[in-house]
Amino acid sequence: MLKNIPKILSPDLVYTLMSMGHGDEIVLADANFPSVANNDNVIRADGHNIPELLDAILTLMPLDRYNDWQVALMEPVPGDVAPDVWNTYKDVISSHEGEYETSLIERFEFYRHTTKTFAVVATGETAAYGNIILKKGVI
């Protein structure tokens, strides 16, 4: 055991966060997201919701202040609404990072984008459009 590492973060996830460099991206994917189909580096976090993982990850990982956006979300298709969990994400991220910029990415472009991210964390989040991409910054 190590001190000050949130218990929710598995050894594989901590290793991944440590392996990422400035500008690399990690996806926290909801339970419906095709994680394995979209990325070769999938870390399982079944049974965990994204807000609690997001909070734990942001205790260790800074967001990229040198990019136009630090966080990306899957844009709801016309007729669908943004999930309530986005407000929770905003509160969690703001508590760690203060102000930040968000990009909305069209659904199919979001899928294509995740094929190029460093890793996908497959979670148990059940909120539709609960997927979130974090861009790693520098200390």
Q: Which residues are catalytic?
A: 22, 64, 111
Distance, CA of 16 to CA of 119 (rounded, Å): 8
Retrieve residue 53's tokens.
């993982």
Q: What is the largest CA-CA distance in the chain?
A: 47
